[in-house]
Structure 1
């Protein structure tokens, strides 16, 4: 069994397969686990807000902000032609009924995934400090509060626990917001959400996997998949031929390029996100829990001795460049959130490509070539959905759950 991709989804999939007693190898072109899209993401494990980006509001904002470098949701004009049919399907899923249906599926799956993650920690399968205490969203004007109340109505309809807060209670819950107390109108606590460093989790899962004899081949780029008589028989790297009866593709945004030569079309597009990470020793504090600023469209998350500031959505194809203007947006937003903070020189800027499907659901499926599987397309929810996806992928491979009828099958319409 070979798993292609050592991000948070791929490494977790390898661990779950190894727990079944299978002989598992992982390959990744990076020099370690979790060094691509998983490396410096927002750090949130958010079943409460596990919703597709294809929302009724998203399409309007994308069109309004085309080409604007200061926009939190940016569509670069040169990326529009490449979206093609994927873009039309994305637009179709922005309909209210579609968004609600997809949100129900994702939030339910995300709750299952968090339960799986808690189980790994409780069973001491992995050693990892998962933060608990909920996610705090803040609102700065009456329009924001009205939007919050509509959002709460949606969340409660999805059986998600919420707590609406006035401004004083918001600051009491998060004292680091005291300098902007006069500008706050209220907050929203989602008490069941969690947080943690996805890269460190990937490393912890790697360590647990190696104890189960998983072989990790880092610095190894997949050149092609090998199919014989309609069955997967292995893969070729630049150096060698690796034989395998089963291969699972967990390659994130590279998934379409790997499966395309076999005639398998996978509707995944890369969507870029940015972050900066600030040392507590430089800024002098850390908030108690993650904070989402509704007005600035950023999230800040305490991760060990660092503060991760993440935000912005950028449709720019496979361009992974870190653009200074986008980093400046994050700096301005976090300075407005914590006005007494001095911005350090070391920002650790980062950008990663999220693998996005048009409907926001991942693809977890056995595909038409016998022995070949895919577990990819998680968008911004790879960390949130990693354990649930690994459990489901393993159950499909072991024959415990059929792929037919699953909302995550590749053959769904995506409309």
Structure 2
């Protein structure tokens, strides 16, 4: 059985892996020169199975209005000149209510928790090194208001049996000793012991090699030019002047999934939400993070790799540009310097931006389309790394006609039909 996967980011390569495990012949097509060169290249590094929360939530419109005028805002909105941006924002606003929030949160936690189990199995089977750490996430709150607001998330964690601990400021030091500089700035915290960290780019590159060893073909430096159909089936993809035939096709093109699928008349509500990161070398291990710290005030995560610190965050709705404004650098450097002033060398920091594929309800689009042999695995927003293996396994199972291990019927594109 031949399958073509469009996209060689974490979603595409992990889907290829599970298809190979099921005996498929797999070809992966991407416009970059290698895997994980775009959104998967320098994300925050969090495997945030427990910290899985929709951006569309009650109170967000009010918060967003205030954030827009804040100096170090976690949200930046710049008109991109398209009607679609406004339409997408309106759809997101419609999800900013209690009922939608709980539905979307449940979906996201379901996928994330399944992905956690997939990572556990994968690491046990392969022993792949991707600078991973299984030491949990520490979400810190700088105000009592943030502490109280976290209660809604805690209810869902409890409902799903996700372990967590509420902490006072001083108790944070048992997990992150180097936060001793900032204890007086913390009102409280939430520790999620089952969360993990890792270098998504490193993981994807090494997984690519494992896929190639199983016979997968990676066709890089190829832009997708046309998708050929016959009736209710996709018959071929034209990319880089070459025609790729297969029995099944998977779209895992992240923020560019919408454009690719539009030629087939499929309306994917995916918008590029830009994020930024800094990567700096560790200069004092004792003063650096142990795992991942999420600063709720700035929506910035600080993650420890072996000899590097990754600082990532912010959500900018401004289209497809990848410019690196100085103001975003200053926000990231402010947070890491405030919490870990002696851990890394900011003078050697590498500044990066990438586009996360976000849906209005924050839940990825996974599953079948109106074409019998075309499947989607896209729209993961800020949680593509976290949800990667779970989403990929669901996608591969559906292609193979195997009943997925978790509920999936509410993840497909059809949920937007109404």
State the distance in 1 between where 2:112 and 2:174 align: 29
Deviates more, 1:274-283 or 1:318-327: 274-283
2:210 to 208, 211, 235: 208
Deviation at 1:65, TM superposition (A): 3.1
Deviation at 1:317, TM superposition (A): 1.4
State the distance in 1 between where 2:275 and 2:62 align: 20
Deviates more, 1:30-39 or 1:69-78: 69-78
State the distance in 2 between where 1:370 and 1:66 align: 43
The alignment yields a C-alpha RMSD, in angstroms, of 2.3
Q: For residue 237 of structure 1, what is the aligned residue in structure 2?
A: 239
TM-score (norm 1): 0.93
Deviates more, 1:176-185 or 1:36-45: 176-185
Note the residue ranges of structure 1 that are not aligned, 5 or more in a row: none
| Alpha-carbon contact 2:178-2:286 (below 8 Å) kept | no
Q: For residue 149 of structure 2, what is the aligned residue in structure 1?
A: 147
Deviation at 1:161, TM superposition (A): 1.6
Instruction: Indicate whether 1:335 and 2:328 are aligned.
Output: no
Q: For residue 326 of structure 1, what is the aligned residue in structure 2?
A: 328
State the distance in 1 between where 2:161 and 2:228 align: 45
| Alpha-carbon contact 1:17-1:24 (below 8 Å) kept | yes
1:411 to 396, 414, 417: 414
Deviation at 1:143, TM superposition (A): 3.0
SS in 2 for 1:351: strand
State the distance in 2 between where 1:284 and 1:190 align: 22
SS in 2 for 1:392: helix
Q: For residue 72 of structure 1, what is the aligned residue in structure 2?
A: 74
Deviation at 1:393, TM superposition (A): 0.7
Q: For residue 299 of structure 1, what is the aligned residue in structure 2?
A: 301
TM-score (norm 2): 0.93
SS in 2 for 1:40: coil
Q: How does 1:109-188 map to 2 (within 5 A)?
A: 109-124=111-126, 126-149=128-151, 151-188=153-190
State the distance in 1 between where 2:218 and 2:100 align: 40
Q: For residue 377 of structure 1, what is the aligned residue in structure 2?
A: 379
Structure 1 residues 307-349: Cα deviation after superposition (integer angstroms, max 9, x where no partner) = 0001111111112222221111111121112234575322111
Deviation at 1:204, TM superposition (A): 1.8
| Alpha-carbon contact 2:56-2:360 (below 8 Å) kept | yes
SS in 1 for 2:41: coil
Deviation at 1:294, TM superposition (A): 2.2
Structure 1 residues 210-231: Cα deviation after superposition (integer angstroms, max 9, x where no partner) = 1110011111111111113442
1:84 to 73, 83, 86: 86
Instruction: Report how many aligned residue pairs link the two structures.
Output: 415
Deviates more, 1:286-295 or 1:10-19: 286-295
State the distance in 2 between where 1:362 and 1:375 align: 7
Instruction: Indicate whether 1:221 and 2:223 are aligned.
Output: yes
Cα 1:60–1:167 shift into 2, 3 Å: same
| Alpha-carbon contact 1:66-1:77 (below 8 Å) kept | no
State the distance in 1 between where 2:256 and 2:349 align: 28
SS in 1 for 2:54: coil
SS in 1 for 2:126: coil
| Alpha-carbon contact 2:309-2:344 (below 8 Å) kept | no
State the distance in 1 between where 2:174 and 2:123 align: 30
SS in 1 for 2:106: helix
Q: For residue 247 of structure 1, what is the aligned residue in structure 2?
A: 249
